[in-house]
Chain A
C-alpha cells in the first residue's frame, strides 16, 4: 500500500510538471564554466527534448545526464518532472532521493525513499540508504529495522552490516558489533571501513592488540564493496575532463592501459591541458610506449613542457627505454630547477640504485625524506640502499626509524628480520619476525620467511 503522502504528492507533481496541455520542455540550465564536453552534451540533449518534451526515454536520459554531471538543481527538477510522467517508477523516486541527499535536503530524501519502497520494496540499496539516513538523523529504532530489512534482501551486503555495526557501537554493544563485523572482514578484507569499525569494537572490549591489528589492516583497504545498479546506471553518464581522467586512472590501476587510453580519446583535442597530458603520459608509459611520450613531450608548447610533472614523466619514459643515464641527467636538471621537489629525489634514488650507485642512491632517498617524502616505500628504499652500499648499521637504523614512523606496518620488521638473519643474529631476527606478525604479517608468509631465514624454531 502506498503511503498517504505519496498519494497526495504524485498528482500535485504531475500538475506542476505537465500543466493542462501536457508536459512542457525543461529550461536549459546555466552552463557557464562547465566542462565543454558536458556543455555540448547538455545542449544537444536539450534540443532533442524541446522537440519531444513528452518522450520519457529522452526525459530520463536528460535527468541522468544532469545528475551524473552534478547539475544538481536542474537534475532534481528533471527527476521530479519524471515523477509526474512516471509516478509508479521506483527508480525515479530513488534518484530524487539521491540528489536530494546530495543537496542536503534530508526530509525530501526520506520522503522519496518511502515512495521507492512503496513501489519496489525489494530494492536492497534503497532500504540500505534509508537505514543510513535514518541513522544519521538519529532515528535509531527505525534505522535498525530498515537496515535489517536491507540485510534480509541482500544477506551479507557490506553496507547494511557496517551501518548495523555502527548502530551497535552507538548503543554500547561492542560485542555484537564484533560478531557482525568479523564475518564481513573475512569475506571482504579490503572493505575500507570494516576493519576500522572492528578495531573500534575490539578497543571498546579492551583488546588493544586485536584493535591494532585491524587498524593496520584498515590502512590497506580498497574501494567500498557496495552495489547499487540504479546509481551506477546514472554515473555512467558522467562526462568531462576530470571524470575521464579518473576513469582512465582506474583502468590503469586495473592493469588495462589500452582501455585507459580509450577513455581519454574524446579529449584528444584538448592537448594543452596539463592534467590531461600528464595522464596521457602516465598511460603511455604503462602501455609500453615511452618513445611516444618523448615524441609528444618534444612537441609540447615550451611552458607546458616545463611543467615539473611532465618533466618527471619524461624521466620515467627514458628509464622505461633503458636510457637510465639520460634519465639521471634529465632528473638532475629538474632537481636543480626545483630543489624542493617532493618526489624527484626518491626517483633519483631508484635510478642510481639501478646503476649500482648505492651510496649515492641512499643519499638521494635521505634527501627525499628531508623534502617531505614520508612514504613507507621511501623509508624502506633508504634502508635497502644503505644495505646494498654495505652500511648495515645505517640500514638497521633506517629500519628502526621506519618502524617508529609506521608503527602498524609489518614491512620494516620483515626487512629487519632479513638483515639480522643475514648477519647471523638469529635471536634478534626471530624477535623482529614476531614483531612483524603482531602487525598483521600473514601467518603463512611468516612461516615462509622463517623457513627462508632458518628461523623455523622461532615461529612454531
Chain B
C-alpha cells in the first residue's frame, strides 16, 4: 500500500456513486484553475474567419489544430489551422501556423519554411505517425482539398496529399488502426456538400441575415475512410467499407472499442442529424448503428446539433462512454455504455442545465486538479448572433469548466470557465495537453476572429500525477491502445487517443491524477491488436515511456 500524503485531507468528500439525488454544491468563489498566457508566451494567433458582408457557412465553424511533439524533444508543439477568406482573391496571406515549444510553454513561430504553413481555408487537424517512421505527421482538413504533411524532422514537413486530398468540406479527422495491422488508417468527417451557389439567406431571431443551420442546406456529406497500405500510402475505402453509405453533417469524431470486440469503432457527432456510430466489423467493414445502439439521438428522441466529442470511461466501469456537446437550448448528451448499448444519462451528470445555455464545441474530460476524478472543459461560442449580446462579438460566450465529483458527475467551477477574468469569445476547438511540462494539463482554445487562449493549469492544490507516453515498436504513439491501472478511486481505464474534442488533435500521452497516491503499482497495456503487456511500478511526478515489447 502506497503512503497517503497530508493532501488526503483536501480530497472532497464525495457522494455515493450512481445516484442522481444527492445535491452537490457548485464550486463557488474559488481560485481560478487556469491563466491565459498566450501572448506572453509567444503564442500569438487569431483565427481569421474572413466574414465580411455575406454569411458563408464555413466562416462560423472553424477552426482547430494539433498538439504534437513535432521535434521529438519531449514537449508539445502547437499547430494551428488558419481560415483566411473563402474567396482566394480576397485572402491576405493567411497561413496555417506552427509554434515551436522552446520549453515550459514558451513558443516561437517557426511556420515560415516549415512546409506546414499551408495557405488554404482550414478547419481542423489530425496527428499520428502516418508513415510509420516514428515521428508525428499531420493531416489538415480544409474547405477544399485536405493535406497530409509528413514530418521530416527538424520541424520540417513535406506535403504528400496524393490520394488523401478529399475535396469536400472536411472537419474533424483522426488516425486510428482500423485493421489492427500496426499502421494507422485515417477517418475524415465531412460536414456539408457546400458551395457558394448553394448558400441561403437565413435570418436570425432578430430578423437579420445570419448563418444558416446545416439543416437548411439539406446537403449532408459522406465521411471518408482511408486505409494505410503500410508504407504511408492511403487508399480510399469509403465505399467498400460501408462508410460511404450514409451521409451526415459530421463535426466531432472519436475512436474506441465501444463494444469490446477488439476493433476500434468510430463515433461521429452530426450537426442537426442523428449521430453515426460505425461499428467496426473487421476486414475493413463498418456498419452504422447509432440509433439502435442508443447514441444517435438524445433521451427525448431529439436529433441534436452534435459538435465536440469525448470518448472515455467517464463512469469508471472500464468501458467507454460518450459525451457529445450541442447547440444552445440543447444540453450536452452523456451516453452511458451498457454493454455496447447506450443510455442517455445526461440528467444525472449535473451538466445539463448549465450546458444548455451555451453552444459548446471543443470539449475534454481530464483530471485537471489531480484528485482522481475526470473534470470537464467546454469551449463555447454561438453560431447565430445573440439577441442580447454583451460584447461586440455577437457570437462570443464564456467557456465552461466542471469539476468531477464522482463517476460521471460534475459541478460547475466558478469563476466561470476557471479563469479569473472571463474570456468571452466565439471559441471553437479546445486542445488538451501538458504544454509547460509541469505535470498539470493545460488547454489551448481557438477563437473565431479573436486571439487564441493558452490556459496554463494553475490549480492551487493539485494531487500527484503520472503520465505515460505509449509507443508502438516503430516509435509512433500507440493510438487506440488501452491502459488499465489502479488509481485513487479504484480500477480505471484510459485510452491512448489524440482525436476527440472538435477539429482537434490533443496530446496523446495518458495523464493520470493520483490524488494522494505516490505512484501506480502496475499498468496493463492492451495494444490495438489485443496483445497485453504489464509495466510498472511507476513513481508519480514523471512522464514514463511504455514501449511495446519492453513490458512483461
Chain A interface (Cβ < 8 Å from any Cβ of B)? 30, 33-35, 38, 70-73, 103-104, 106, 133, 135-141, 162-163, 166, 169-170, 172, 192-197, 199-200, 203-204, 208, 211-212, 215, 218, 240-243, 245, 274-275, 278, 307-309, 338-342, 371-375, 404-405
Contact = CB atoms under 8 A, between A and B. Distances in A.
Given A35-B206, A72-B388, A104-B356, A136 B301 contact: no
Given A104-B357, A341-B198, A242 B203 contact: yes
B245 A274 contact: no
Nearest to A109: B353
A115 B245 CA distance: 53
A268 to B, nearest CB: 15
B200 A309 contact: yes
A242 B344 CA distance: 34
A223 to B, nearest CB: 13
B347 interface: yes
A308 B201 CA distance: 11
A242 B204 CA distance: 7
Given A166-B300, A341-B198, A374-B219, A240 B292 contact: no
A375 B21 contact: no
A170 B206 contact: no
B162 to A, nearest CB: 23
B387 A341 contact: no
22 contacts: A34-B206, A70-B388, A138-B347, A138-B350, A138-B352, A140-B20, A141-B21, A162-B301, A169-B299, A170-B299, A170-B347, A196-B300, A200-B301, A211-B291, A215-B292, A241-B203, A241-B207, A242-B205, A242-B207, A274-B201, A307-B201, A342-B217
Nearest 9 pairs of A and B residues by beta carbon: A196-B301, A104-B357, A372-B193, A193-B301, A241-B207, A338-B197, A138-B20, A35-B207, A340-B195
A341 B197 contact: yes
B297 interface: yes
Interface in B267-317: 291-294, 297, 299-302
A103 B219 contact: no
A208 to B, nearest CB: 6
B343 interface: yes
Nearest to A162: B300
Nearest to A202: B292
A342 B300 contact: no
Contacts of B344: 169-170
Contacts of B387: 70-72
B300 A71 contact: no
B278 to A, nearest CB: 14
Interface string B1-44: 00000000000000000001100000000000000000000000
Contacts, number: 150
A35 B350 CA distance: 37
A104 B353 contact: yes
Given A34-B206, A197-B301, A137 B352 contact: yes
B532 to A, nearest CB: 32
Interface of B: 20-21, 192-193, 195-198, 200-208, 217-221, 245-247, 291-294, 297, 299-302, 331, 341, 343-350, 352-354, 356-358, 387-388
Contacts of A169: 299, 343-344
Given A104-B358, A196-B302, A200-B294, 17 more contacts: A72-B387, A103-B357, A136-B356, A162-B301, A192-B301, A193-B301, A196-B301, A199-B291, A200-B301, A240-B207, A242-B207, A275-B202, A341-B198, A342-B217, A374-B219, A374-B247, A375-B218
A196 B201 contact: no
Would you call the interface of chain B mostly helix, strand, loop, or mixed?
A: loop
Nearest to B203: A242
Contacts of B246: 405
Contacts of B193: 342, 371-372
Contacts of A208: 292
A103 B354 CA distance: 10
A204 B341 contact: yes
B301 A71 contact: no
Contact of A196 (B195, B206, B220, B297): B297
A30 B390 CA distance: 12
Given A71-B388, A199-B291, A372-B193, A278 B299 contact: no
B464 to A, nearest CB: 31
Contacts of B293: 203
Contacts of A373: 218-219
B20 A139 contact: yes
B299 A166 contact: yes
B189 to A, nearest CB: 16
B120 to A, nearest CB: 19
Contact of A170 (B208, B331, B343, B357): B343
B1 to A, nearest CB: 35
A170 B341 CA distance: 13
A188 B352 CA distance: 28
A97 to B, nearest CB: 14
B348 A170 contact: yes
B21 A140 contact: yes
Contacts of A211: 291-292
Nearest to B245: A404
Contact of B300 (A140, A197, A241, A274): A197
A199 B217 CA distance: 28
A101 B99 CA distance: 43
A104 B354 contact: yes
B220 A309 contact: no
Contact of B201 (A193, A243, A275): A275
Contacts of B198: 340-342, 372
Contact of B21 (A38, A70, A138, A374): A138
A453 to B, nearest CB: 29
Given A104-B353, A138-B349, A212-B292, A309 B206 contact: no
B197 A308 contact: yes
Contacts of A172: 343
Contacts of B192: 372
Contact of B291 (A215, A245, A309, A371): A215
B197 A240 contact: no
A141 B341 CA distance: 25
A211 B301 CA distance: 13
A340 B198 CA distance: 7
Contact of B347 (A136, A307, A371): A136
A309 B344 CA distance: 40
Nearest to B193: A372
B302 A193 contact: yes
A224 to B, nearest CB: 10
Contacts of B205: 70, 242
Contacts of B353: 104, 106, 133, 136-137
A373 B346 CA distance: 35
A352 to B, nearest CB: 21
A340 B247 CA distance: 18
Contacts of B357: 103-104
B352 A203 contact: no
Nearest to B303: A196
Nearest to A139: B21
A203 B200 contact: no
A278 B201 contact: yes
A161 to B, nearest CB: 12
A345 to B, nearest CB: 12
A136 B291 contact: no
A39 to B, nearest CB: 10
A170 B198 CA distance: 42
Contact of A374 (B208, B220, B349, B356): B220
A33 B208 CA distance: 8
A135 B345 CA distance: 11
A275 B420 CA distance: 43
A374 B218 contact: yes
Contacts of B291: 199, 211, 215
B297 A245 contact: no
A371 B192 CA distance: 11
Nearest to A191: B301
Contacts of A70: 205-206, 387-388
